[in-house]
Amino acid sequence: MYSPKIAEDLIPRLYWRAKSEKVSMTKLVDGIIRSAVVAKNSVSFNAGAETGASLFVRESDPRDAA
């Protein structure tokens, strides 16, 4: 599975924001990315089809929300 690296300068900012929101960094970053993709609506889910690349976004499992 592809796991992109987060820029080192963002780690402390994400850490403190997650801590203040009382969520894990993983959930915080997932939420930020999902919001950005929906808000921009500029990412095509077929983007890169001509190169064989695809973008897959896994929907949240309702069991994760608890």
Question: Using one digit for the tens of pLDDT, what is the confidence trace for 31-56?
Answer: 999 988 888 776 555 555 444 444 44
Give the C-alpha separation, 60 to 26, whole Å. 13
Q: pLDDT at position 28, please?
A: 95
Q: Are 14 and 25 in contact (CB under 8 A)?
A: yes
DSSP 16: H
DSSP 1: -
Q: pLDDT at position 17, please?
A: 96
Checking if the pLDDT of 3 tops 60, the result is yes
The residues spanned by each domain of the chain are 8-42
